Amino acid sequence: MTLHAVDDIDEAIDATKSFLFPFELRQWLRMALVVFFIGGGTGTGGVQNIGQFSNFGDEGSPSAGEFSLTAPLESVPAVPGPGRLFQVGGRVPAEPSSLANEVGAAVLIAAVAAVVVLALVFAYLGAVMEFALAQSLIDQEVHVRRYLRRHAGNGLWLFGFRVVLGVASLVVLISGLAALYVVAGGSFQNPSASVLLGSLGLVIVAVVGFAVVYGLINGFTNVFVVPMIVERGDGLVGGWKRLWGSMRREPKQYLVYVFFSVVLAIGVGIVGGIAGFVAALIIAIPFGLVGLLLGFGLATVSQAAGIAGGAVVFVLYLLVLLVVANMIKAPLQTFLRYYAMLVLGDIDEGLDPIPEVRGALRSDEAA
């Protein structure tokens, strides 16, 4: 019996070469943009501690001996207290520290909301880019804006699908922790070691099992169902129905694919990591020299200017490194996606998303 997951590795390499070579900078940059969104590119950010605003407006008490009366207390005219002096419309304004707390809370809420919105936008773009990548590999040309417009609706469906999977995984995690709590007797204060270890083992097995199922569903959706939707016009549900029928008919072929795809993904990750590390070192040399020269040059004017110049060069270095890293990932991701599509078409010809690419590859081999 032919194992397509074994036979299609070489063809996936050939398909990657035909798609990305000869080298064209514009196409590689477009692929780098697509890969950035689908490859889990994440940004980090934080909200600075705004608790310091709670001290806004506090006054230090004067030291003893710094103030003294020059007349008897009885001769000093009565002065209205702060509440009366600043009272407007019958209401006393809030204390400065209270006002600062309210402002700080509002800033924190706005920052959290902004982060959530950005995360959702990024997740949606990542879903749409899945279709852009599949369309690019099928057409063997990259048009980011065109594909984004074409697959905006499909991306929304995939985004919702991922949200449901994420919520389900969270529910399973919480349920597992709750089960551990119940098995431990409703208290973790004095549980027996055997009960605790046994329940913890069950939870770990359950969570790992669900993680495997989650990974398979999410992975098969990205590498099999998305290209089917692009090529055949099926919806997400219809694509999964067709794929599930094929999986039931050829379970062995899909299991072998899962094994080899994991092995190849590990190998690709190692290659990408090494190439990224080497690229980071090579790029660091010119940027490091420019940063030092600029920093020392501006430092003759002022120390702050030197630090600012060095910081600008460092930020530019990170941006260039980000672009180069995703350009390195472009052929690796292309290989993995072509491999999956080649295997799918060999297992079930009716689901083949790249019949033209496959035909061109095999005609070249025959020649």
Contact 147, 132 (CB under 8 A): yes
Confidence of residue 186 (pLDDT cuts 50, 70, 90): low
How does DSSP classify residue 224?
I
Residue 88's DSSP bridge partners are 91
Alpha carbon 277 to chain centroid, angstroms: 20
- Alpha carbons 366 and 47: distance in angstroms, whole number: 60
User: Is 130 within a domain?
Assistant: yes
Note the pLDDT of residue 188: 53
Q: How many CA atoms lie within 13 A of 255 on its CB side?
A: 5
- For residue 30, CA distances in Å to 133, 210, 240, 325, 341 come to 10, 35, 29, 13, 21
pLDDT of 138 over the 60 cut: yes
Please give the residue that has the higher pLDDT: either 363 or 190: 363
Note the pLDDT of residue 272: 95
Number of structural domains the chain divides into: 1
Which 3 state secondary structure label does DSSP give 44? coil
Alpha carbon 190 to chain centroid, angstroms: 40
DSSP 155-188: HHHHHHHHHHHHHHHHHHHHHHHHHHHHHTTS-S
User: Is 21 within a domain?
Assistant: yes
- For residue 362, CA distances in Å to 6, 150, 213 come to 16, 30, 34
Please give the residue that has the higher pLDDT: either 258 or 299: 258
User: Is 77 within a domain?
Assistant: no
For the four alpha carbons of 341, 344, 350 and 351, in that order, the dihedral sign comes to negative
Please give the residue that has the higher pLDDT: either 265 or 65: 265
Q: What is the mean pLDDT of the chain?
A: 81
Alpha carbon 357 to chain centroid, angstroms: 31
- For residue 11, CA distances in Å to 5, 6, 123, 221 come to 11, 10, 32, 22
80-106 average pLDDT score: 59
Contact 234, 228 (CB under 8 A): yes
- Alpha carbons 254 and 249: distance in angstroms, whole number: 10
User: Is 73 within a domain?
Assistant: no
Burial class of 8 by CB neighbour count within 10 A (0 to 12, 13 to 18, 19+): buried
Backbone torsions φ then ψ of 91, nearest 5 degrees = -120, 140
Backbone torsions φ then ψ of 237, nearest 5 degrees = -70, -45
Confidence of residue 304 (pLDDT cuts 50, 70, 90): confident
This prediction has a pTM of 0.78
Note the pLDDT of residue 50: 30
User: Is 61 within a domain?
Assistant: no
Note the pLDDT of residue 206: 75
Note the pLDDT of residue 174: 81
Contact 73, 26 (CB under 8 A): no
User: Is 200 within a domain?
Assistant: yes
Residue in the structure block whose two tokens are 């702060």: 82
User: Is 90 within a domain?
Assistant: no
- Alpha carbons 265 and 260: distance in angstroms, whole number: 8
What domain range is 334 assigned to? 4-40+97-366
User: Is 104 within a domain?
Assistant: yes
Please give the residue that has the higher pLDDT: either 305 or 206: 305
pLDDT of 220 over the 50 cut: yes
Q: How many CA atoms lie within 13 A of 169 on its CB side?
A: 17
How does DSSP classify residue 349?
G
Q: How do residues 55-83 score in pLDDT, each as one tens digit?
A: 333 334 334 344 444 444 444 444 444 44
Contact 158, 222 (CB under 8 A): no
pLDDT of 40 over the 90 cut: no
268: tokens are 């690709």
211: tokens are 């993680």
Which 3 state secondary structure label does DSSP give 362? helix
pLDDT of 126 over the 70 cut: yes
Which 3 state secondary structure label does DSSP give 15? helix
- Alpha carbons 36 and 45: distance in angstroms, whole number: 18
What is the radius of gyration, based on Cα positions, of the chain?
A: 31
DSSP 251-308: HHHHHHHHHHHHHHHHHHHHHHHHHHHHHHHHHHHHHHHHHHHHHHHHHTT-HHHHHH
